[in-house]
Amino acid sequence: MKAEHDFSAGIFLVGAIALFAISVLTLGHERELFSKQDVFQTAFSDVKGLKEGAPVRMGGLTVGRVERINFAQHQNDRRVHVDFLINSKFLNRMRRDNTVSIETQGLLGDRFLNVKLGASSDVLAPGSDLESEESGEIEEVIGKTAKIIDNTEKASEDLQSLFSELRNNTLNQITEAASRIATFMQALEQEEGIIPRLIYSKKDGSALIQDIRQSADNIKEITESVRKGDGLLHAMVYDQSGGKSIEGLTRAANNLADAAAAIGSIAEAIKQGEGLAHQIFYGSDETLAPDIFTKLEETAENLRVASKALSTGTGTLGALIIDPKLYDNLVEVTDDAKRSIILREAIRSSLAE
């Protein structure tokens, strides 16, 4: 009886030892506890709950484990330093531009160290420092995701409200506009105006196109005439001396401007002055202008009567101009006066008196 009890105890002990050995071997194989490993360092401002013994992964493969997590010895260094081990068979993957970040695994949020492969060909020596990348918290990601969901929901509500408004108002307006367009097109088909003829009449459309072509040809001829001609436009556009023509036009324009300024000055002087011109244009006496025009008319009438009298020989001046006998008599009298000493002395004495 005792022998059977000892045998059972021995079997249990052997089984426990075997189970322990299998567990150790399995854990050691999983965490590469019995593989040759080399240490590397990195540092983070926040390790976000990373623990010692956490796996180190590279491209999704477990290549080592976290050995130690601690603050730096210097108080000025506020970063948390992490020492991690890399299995020797992966050392050739440790390049100078590799980076290290803390990632989250599973729903429970288990942390692990992730080594991102670089493109450099320089292999890091064991004990080297790797550059770290700060990763965002899962809570921040969840918060941003919730915010995005809220914004999406709000946008969906806005779209629903917009579509409802379109369905209630705009759709009716679109239907009414389409109906009006259809009515307009039907009227075009039935009417005999210019627009229906242009749209539906091949003859009228061809005539319009011909007119457009003719206009284009005319414009082409005009531009060709300007290019090949010797007129002012040609000189202004193509001739090297066109600048002189433009200068001449500029001077003429300046002269016109000066003349306009002079006329403006005269007009201003008339407006501000007190002479006859001011009285004619700006005078407040309503009888002044009629009097002036009346006097001018009387003067013109007197000149007309005098010129008529002269032309008909009326009066002394008219006789002198028209009657040659009177002229001859005057010549004869003056000749006799020159020859008569008595008459000449009488004329002198009368003039002296």
Domain range summary for the chain, segments of one domain joined by +: 1-30, 37-136, 139-190, 288-321, 323-352
Q: Which pLDDT does position 281 carry in this prediction?
A: 65
Q: In whole angstroms, what is the distance from residue 101 CA to residue 79 CA? A: 14
pTM of the model: 0.35
pLDDT at position 152, please?
86
Assess whether pLDDT exceeds 80 at residue 345.
Answer: no
Q: What pLDDT is attached to residue 300? A: 76
Average confidence (pLDDT) over 214-233: 77
Mean pLDDT of 240-253: 68
Kindly tell me if the per-residue pLDDT of 208 is higher than 60: yes
- The proportion of the chain whose per-residue pLDDT surpasses 70, expressed as a percent, equals 60
Residue 154 or residue 206, greater confidence: 154
Rg (CA), the chain: 61
Does the pLDDT of residue 113 top 90, yes or no? yes
Q: What is the pLDDT of residue 341?
A: 59
For the four alpha carbons of 168, 170, 173 and 175, in that order, the dihedral sign comes to negative
Res. 258 pLDDT band, cuts 50 70 90: confident
Beta-carbon neighbour count of residue 84 at 10 Å?
26
* Mean pLDDT value across the chain: 76
Residue 87 has pLDDT above 90, yes or no: yes
Which position has the higher pLDDT, 19 or 34?
19
Determine contact, residues 83/67, Cβ cutoff 8 Å: yes
Backbone angles phi, psi at 112, to 5 degrees: -145, 165
